[in-house]
Amino acid sequence: MSNEKEQGRPNYYEQAKEEYKELAEDEDPDVWDKRINATGCYIENLALQLCHADTNDWRQCFKEMEMFKKCWQKNGNLERVPTVDVPGFSTFPKK
């Protein structure tokens, strides 16, 4: 990956790598950062978030989505996800 813009768009992966360096120096990262870092795909996840925050359009972030997907698969996270689900837990409010 180069530091230059690709076809006039920011290089979100490079930006994410720089932010990851800061996280590595943080002595007390928050729970979210710890969980994402444990997947092995922190940089790819952040690059995808940066792209979406910048463009407000997931369709413009296919490159970042593909990078995240490949990382997720490479690190065995497809098998990991069901093991972290908590029975009875829902992110939706109870009625």
Q: What is the pLDDT of residue 4?
A: 44
Q: What is the pLDDT of residue 9?
A: 81
Angle at 57 between CA 54 and CA 60, to 5 degrees: 85
pLDDT of residue 88 exceeding 80, the answer is no
Number of H helices, E strands in the chain: 5, 0
How many whole angstroms from its chain centre is CA 53? 12
**Model pLDDT for residues 31-80, shown as the tens digit of each residue:** 888 888 999 999 999 999 999 999 999 999 999 999 999 999 999 888 76
State the Rg of the chain over Cα: 15
pLDDT bucket at 22, cuts 50 / 70 / 90: confident
